[in-house]
Amino acid sequence: MVWYCLLYSTPMAGQSVLFEGGGSLIDRWELSDSTRHGTFLVRPYKPVYFLLANWCNNPNKQPDSGNPETSLPVEVPLQAVECKFQFSFKFKAWEGIFGKHGDLWLAYSQSSRWQVYNSDLSRLFRETNYEPEVLLNFATDLRVLGFKLCMIGGGINHQSNGRSYFLTRSWNRALLQFGFIRPNWTVMVRPWMRLPEEVAVDENPEVERYAGRGDLLVVRMLGRHQLSFLGRHSLDLDPGRGSVQLDWAIPVKERFKVHLQFFHGHGESLIDFNHEQTTVGLGFSLIEWN
């Protein structure tokens, strides 16, 4: 997963801007003079949520990477219901690299799957994915099919699960991102290319054929409700693999929202990159895409 846009509201005088929500893609990535706030200020990136119950129809009890050195030889008694949570932030490290153009951002995201209801396995953290990124963005002002193309960027993404032996997974990607806006809509298009690794040490061969070679994020605001679609695809014709994730943030009080999440396909996490499953989660969120 990554390369996403969180939308940021311009603060009033004296108001803290740390992890504020709302606003537009232009605000979130500081793409105009009026929205620039300098460097090294922590901002939201991807959604921040906690799913109290995340049900899976097909738990991956014996992960197989396609490489015998990183495939689990035994089955693990996982439960179908677990917790899932994610936090994410970014900050601008360099503003105006080429005169007034080009901003360098550093970002970090982390998501965990926690078998908190599984006392037989000591309530272990089944999988945690760590994802640092370096992104260079440029503001644009182009019209495309009724949308404004307001941002073009690219960068390097690393994702790993911090495990060893049979359960280790990681990959590196070079990516592009294109941000489009119109009233109540945000669209992000992000193609990427996996950076090559030696076949003998590849922990997850052909991960891009399952987890995808790009994704599409579409965010729709309906009043204070937010609906989002995140689709990934391998761009292979036969077989075409990927995933679909749908999220619905339902406002309750101020920034607290009930959060519903549906996922189907491959790559829900790195350990599951080649494992097809459907998950349904319910919890709460504090920060969303908008």
Active site residues: 158, 160
Residue 182 dihedral angles phi and psi, to the nearest 5°: -155, 165
Structure tokens at 25: 């893609």
Amino acid at 215: D
Q: Are strands 48-56 and 43-44 parallel, antiparallel or unpaired?
A: unpaired
Q: Is 242 left (phi over 0), alpha (psi -120 to 50) or beta?
A: left
Neighbours of 130 (CB within 10 A): 16
Residue 25 dihedral angles phi and psi, to the nearest 5°: -60, -35
Alpha carbon 248 to chain centroid distance? Answer: 15
Spell out the residues 6+ positions from residue 68 whose beta carbon is closer than 8 angstroms to its own. none
- State the number of CA atoms in the 13 A half-sphere of 147 facing the CB: 18
**C-alpha to C-alpha distance for 28 and 14, rounded to whole angstroms:** 19
Alpha carbon 203 to chain centroid distance? Answer: 21
